[in-house]
Structure 1
Amino acid sequence: MIAVRNDVAVVTPSHDLDAGAGDLLREVLTEAVREHLHVIVDMHAAPTIDSTGLSLLVRAYNEAKARGGTLSLAAPSRYVVTVLHTMKLHHVFTLYPDVDAALRAVS
Protein backbone atom coordinates (compact mmCIF):
# COMPACT_ATOMS: atom_id res chain seq x y z
CA MET A 1 0.00 0.00 0.00
CA ILE A 2 3.06 2.30 0.34
CA ALA A 3 5.47 2.84 -2.50
CA VAL A 4 8.36 5.29 -2.43
CA ARG A 5 9.08 7.39 -5.50
CA ASN A 6 11.75 10.09 -5.42
CA ASP A 7 11.75 10.04 -1.59
CA VAL A 8 7.97 10.64 -1.57
CA ALA A 9 5.61 8.11 0.00
CA VAL A 10 2.74 7.17 -2.31
CA VAL A 11 -0.09 5.55 -0.38
CA THR A 12 -2.56 3.72 -2.61
CA PRO A 13 -5.70 2.47 -0.90
CA SER A 14 -7.17 -0.50 -2.75
CA HIS A 15 -10.81 0.32 -1.98
CA ASP A 16 -13.13 2.99 -0.61
CA LEU A 17 -11.94 5.11 2.31
CA ASP A 18 -14.59 4.09 4.79
CA ALA A 19 -14.93 2.52 8.22
CA GLY A 20 -13.90 -0.86 6.80
CA ALA A 21 -10.54 0.55 5.76
CA GLY A 22 -10.04 2.51 8.96
CA ASP A 23 -7.49 0.54 10.97
CA LEU A 24 -5.25 -0.42 8.07
CA LEU A 25 -5.38 3.04 6.51
CA ARG A 26 -4.58 4.68 9.87
CA GLU A 27 -1.50 2.49 10.27
CA VAL A 28 -0.29 3.05 6.72
CA LEU A 29 -0.78 6.82 6.80
CA THR A 30 0.91 7.10 10.19
CA GLU A 31 3.92 5.16 8.91
CA ALA A 32 4.10 7.17 5.69
CA VAL A 33 3.96 10.53 7.49
CA ARG A 34 6.46 9.43 10.12
CA GLU A 35 9.02 8.20 7.58
CA HIS A 36 8.61 10.69 4.70
CA LEU A 37 8.41 14.45 4.44
CA HIS A 38 5.97 14.31 1.52
CA VAL A 39 3.05 11.92 1.20
CA ILE A 40 0.71 11.49 -1.75
CA VAL A 41 -2.49 9.51 -1.36
CA ASP A 42 -3.31 7.97 -4.75
CA MET A 43 -7.10 7.84 -4.74
CA HIS A 44 -7.61 6.20 -8.14
CA ALA A 45 -8.93 2.95 -6.60
CA ALA A 46 -10.96 4.64 -3.85
CA PRO A 47 -14.06 6.09 -5.51
CA THR A 48 -15.91 6.92 -2.28
CA ILE A 49 -15.10 8.25 1.16
CA ASP A 50 -17.00 8.55 4.42
CA SER A 51 -16.43 10.42 7.68
CA THR A 52 -13.91 7.83 8.87
CA GLY A 53 -11.82 8.25 5.72
CA LEU A 54 -12.03 12.03 5.93
CA SER A 55 -10.96 11.97 9.55
CA LEU A 56 -7.95 9.80 8.77
CA LEU A 57 -6.86 12.03 5.90
CA VAL A 58 -7.24 15.19 8.01
CA ARG A 59 -5.28 13.64 10.88
CA ALA A 60 -2.47 12.56 8.55
CA TYR A 61 -2.45 15.98 6.86
CA ASN A 62 -2.11 17.71 10.24
CA GLU A 63 0.69 15.36 11.31
CA ALA A 64 2.55 15.93 8.04
CA LYS A 65 2.13 19.70 8.33
CA ALA A 66 3.35 19.68 11.95
CA ARG A 67 6.52 17.94 10.76
CA GLY A 68 7.05 20.50 7.99
CA GLY A 69 5.80 18.11 5.32
CA THR A 70 2.87 17.80 2.96
CA LEU A 71 0.05 15.39 2.26
CA SER A 72 -1.75 15.71 -1.04
CA LEU A 73 -4.36 13.71 -2.94
CA ALA A 74 -3.92 12.37 -6.46
CA ALA A 75 -6.68 11.21 -8.80
CA PRO A 76 -9.65 11.76 -6.48
CA SER A 77 -12.99 10.72 -7.95
CA ARG A 78 -15.70 13.25 -8.66
CA TYR A 79 -17.52 11.91 -5.60
CA VAL A 80 -14.50 12.47 -3.34
CA VAL A 81 -13.99 15.99 -4.72
CA THR A 82 -17.68 16.75 -4.06
CA VAL A 83 -17.38 15.52 -0.48
CA LEU A 84 -14.24 17.61 0.04
CA HIS A 85 -16.07 20.70 -1.26
CA THR A 86 -19.11 19.98 0.88
CA MET A 87 -16.97 19.65 4.00
CA LYS A 88 -14.90 22.74 3.04
CA LEU A 89 -11.77 20.58 2.86
CA HIS A 90 -10.95 21.39 -0.76
CA HIS A 91 -8.94 24.32 0.61
CA VAL A 92 -6.97 22.02 2.90
CA PHE A 93 -5.81 19.30 0.52
CA THR A 94 -3.92 19.97 -2.68
CA LEU A 95 -5.51 17.86 -5.41
CA TYR A 96 -3.72 16.53 -8.48
CA PRO A 97 -5.07 14.69 -11.51
CA ASP A 98 -2.57 11.86 -11.05
CA VAL A 99 0.47 10.75 -9.06
CA ASP A 100 2.95 11.98 -11.65
CA ALA A 101 1.55 15.53 -11.43
CA ALA A 102 1.74 15.37 -7.62
CA LEU A 103 5.33 14.13 -7.75
CA ARG A 104 6.33 16.94 -10.10
CA ALA A 105 4.82 19.47 -7.68
CA VAL A 106 6.81 18.26 -4.67
CA SER A 107 10.10 17.87 -6.53
Structure 2
Amino acid sequence: MTDVRDATDTAVVTPLSDLDADAVELLRESLTEAVRDHRHVIVDLHAAPTIDSAGLSMLVRAYNEAKSAGGTLSLAAPSRYVVTVLHTMKLHQVFPLYEDVEEALSA
Protein backbone atom coordinates (compact mmCIF):
# COMPACT_ATOMS: atom_id res chain seq x y z
CA MET A 1 0.00 0.00 0.00
CA THR A 2 2.92 2.36 0.65
CA ASP A 3 6.56 2.57 -0.25
CA VAL A 4 8.98 4.31 2.13
CA ARG A 5 12.49 5.31 1.06
CA ASP A 6 15.11 6.77 3.37
CA ALA A 7 17.80 9.25 2.40
CA THR A 8 19.81 10.48 5.40
CA ASP A 9 17.40 12.74 7.28
CA THR A 10 14.68 12.62 4.60
CA ALA A 11 12.01 9.97 4.12
CA VAL A 12 9.92 9.62 0.98
CA VAL A 13 6.52 8.04 1.61
CA THR A 14 4.64 6.93 -1.49
CA PRO A 15 0.98 5.97 -1.17
CA LEU A 16 0.14 3.47 -3.88
CA SER A 17 -3.57 4.29 -4.14
CA ASP A 18 -6.05 7.11 -3.68
CA LEU A 19 -5.83 8.84 -0.30
CA ASP A 20 -9.25 7.80 0.95
CA ALA A 21 -10.45 6.41 4.28
CA ASP A 22 -9.32 2.86 3.43
CA ALA A 23 -5.83 3.94 2.41
CA VAL A 24 -5.43 6.23 5.40
CA GLU A 25 -5.72 3.29 7.78
CA LEU A 26 -2.81 1.60 6.01
CA LEU A 27 -0.73 4.73 5.45
CA ARG A 28 -1.06 6.41 8.84
CA GLU A 29 1.51 4.19 10.59
CA SER A 30 4.13 4.58 7.84
CA LEU A 31 3.68 8.33 7.77
CA THR A 32 3.79 8.63 11.56
CA GLU A 33 7.03 6.63 11.69
CA ALA A 34 8.56 8.69 8.90
CA VAL A 35 7.74 11.95 10.70
CA ARG A 36 9.04 10.58 13.99
CA ASP A 37 12.30 9.20 12.56
CA HIS A 38 13.25 11.85 9.95
CA ARG A 39 13.63 15.60 9.92
CA HIS A 40 12.11 15.94 6.45
CA VAL A 41 9.28 13.91 4.94
CA ILE A 42 8.18 14.00 1.33
CA VAL A 43 4.85 12.43 0.42
CA ASP A 44 5.14 11.31 -3.22
CA LEU A 45 1.59 11.47 -4.59
CA HIS A 46 2.31 10.31 -8.14
CA ALA A 47 0.24 7.12 -7.58
CA ALA A 48 -2.56 8.80 -5.59
CA PRO A 49 -4.83 10.55 -8.10
CA THR A 50 -7.57 11.50 -5.61
CA ILE A 51 -7.91 12.50 -1.97
CA ASP A 52 -10.84 12.76 0.43
CA SER A 53 -11.35 14.39 3.82
CA ALA A 54 -9.70 11.47 5.64
CA GLY A 55 -6.60 11.81 3.47
CA LEU A 56 -6.48 15.58 3.99
CA SER A 57 -6.86 15.16 7.73
CA MET A 58 -4.01 12.65 7.86
CA LEU A 59 -1.70 14.93 5.86
CA VAL A 60 -2.52 17.96 8.01
CA ARG A 61 -1.90 15.95 11.20
CA ALA A 62 1.44 14.67 9.87
CA TYR A 63 2.41 18.19 8.76
CA ASN A 64 1.67 19.57 12.22
CA GLU A 65 3.63 16.76 13.89
CA ALA A 66 6.61 17.36 11.61
CA LYS A 67 6.49 21.12 12.19
CA SER A 68 6.26 20.77 15.97
CA ALA A 69 9.33 18.51 15.90
CA GLY A 70 11.27 21.10 13.87
CA GLY A 71 10.90 19.23 10.60
CA THR A 72 9.05 19.59 7.33
CA LEU A 73 6.46 17.69 5.35
CA SER A 74 6.05 18.43 1.66
CA LEU A 75 4.04 16.96 -1.20
CA ALA A 76 5.52 15.85 -4.50
CA ALA A 77 3.77 15.08 -7.79
CA PRO A 78 0.20 15.85 -6.71
CA SER A 79 -2.43 15.24 -9.37
CA ARG A 80 -4.51 18.08 -10.75
CA TYR A 81 -7.41 16.80 -8.62
CA VAL A 82 -5.32 16.85 -5.43
CA VAL A 83 -4.02 20.35 -6.21
CA THR A 84 -7.60 21.53 -6.77
CA VAL A 85 -8.69 20.10 -3.41
CA LEU A 86 -5.69 21.70 -1.68
CA HIS A 87 -6.56 25.07 -3.24
CA THR A 88 -10.22 24.74 -2.30
CA MET A 89 -9.27 24.06 1.31
CA LYS A 90 -6.55 26.79 1.25
CA LEU A 91 -3.98 24.11 2.08
CA HIS A 92 -1.80 24.98 -0.93
CA GLN A 93 -0.53 27.79 1.32
CA VAL A 94 0.45 25.28 4.01
CA PHE A 95 2.11 22.42 2.16
CA PRO A 96 5.18 22.96 0.02
CA LEU A 97 4.26 21.45 -3.37
CA TYR A 98 6.81 20.08 -5.83
CA GLU A 99 6.51 18.70 -9.33
CA ASP A 100 8.36 15.50 -8.42
CA VAL A 101 10.45 13.89 -5.68
CA GLU A 102 13.74 15.03 -7.18
CA GLU A 103 12.64 18.67 -7.05
CA ALA A 104 11.48 18.19 -3.43
CA LEU A 105 14.79 16.58 -2.47
CA SER A 106 16.79 19.43 -3.97
CA ALA A 107 14.70 22.13 -2.25
TM-score class, shorter-chain normalisation, is: over 0.9
Corresponding residue for residue 42 of structure 1: 44
Report what 1:92 is aligned to: 94
- Segments of 5+ residues of structure 1 without an aligned counterpart are none
Whole-angstrom distance in 1 between the partners of 2:100 and 2:57: 22
Structure 2 residue 8 is matched with structure 1 residue 17: no
Tell me the TM-score normalized by structure 2. Answer: 0.96
TM-score (norm 1): 0.96
List, as ranges, runs of 4+ consecutive aligned residues in structure 1 with deviation greater than 4 Å: none
* Residue equivalent to 1:79: 81
* Partner Cα separation in structure 2 for residue 36 and residue 103 of structure 1: 13
Q: Shift in Å at residue 28 of structure 1?
A: 0.8
Q: Which amino acid aligns with 2:22?
A: G
| Partner SS state of residue 75, structure 2 | strand
Matched, 1:102 2:104: yes
Count residues with an aligned counterpart: 105
Paired with 2:64 and 2:31, the residues of 1 have a C-alpha distance of 12
Q: Distance in 2 between matches of 1:79 and 1:5?
A: 29
Residue 58 of structure 2 aligns with which residue?
56
Over aligned residue pairs, what C-alpha RMSD do you find? 0.7
